[in-house]
């Protein structure tokens, strides 16, 4: 299980950004498959309900990581890079710690 910190400020909304990336087709493809849609919507629901951090099972974290790495960002931005690095370096947490 992984814990992704959702660090936002007035200029950057980490939750909204993560939801947009997760719901987007992988790597700028034109479409998503039904299984991808199910996974994306489940993760987006968890992110939307989270406060400062979201806990994800390894398979969901891998789905997020894959999309965050492949997402076609519109420009170079320090906040976006920090957001990406925070996700890629998400801490592993013990199932007992998460409870």
pLDDT at 97: 62
pLDDT at 32: 92
pLDDT at 34: 96
- The kind and range of the H/E element at 59 are helix 58-70
- Whole-model pTM: value is 0.89
pLDDT at 30: 86
**How far apart, in whole angstroms, are the C-alpha atoms of residue 38 and residue 85?**
25
Q: Is the distance from CB of 26 to CB of 71 less than 8 angstroms?
A: no
pLDDT at 95: 74
Q: Is the distance from CB of 6 to CB of 23 less than 8 angstroms?
A: no
Which regions in the chain score pLDDT beneath 50?
none
Closest to 4 in 3D by CA, of 75, 77, 17: 17
């Amino acid at each position: 299980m992984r814990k992704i910190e959702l660090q936002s400020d007035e200029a950057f909304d980490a939750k909204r950004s993560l939801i947009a990336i997760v719901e987007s087709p992988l790597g700028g493809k034109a479409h998503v498959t039904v299984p991808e849609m199910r996974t994306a919507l489940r993760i987006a629901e968890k992110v939307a309900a989270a406060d400062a951090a979201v806990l994800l099972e390894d398979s969901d974290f891998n789905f997020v990581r894959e999309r965050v790495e492949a997402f076609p960002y519109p420009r170079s931005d320090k906040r976006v890079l920090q957001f990406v690095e925070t996700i890629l370096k998400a801490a592993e947490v013990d199932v007992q710690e998460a409870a």
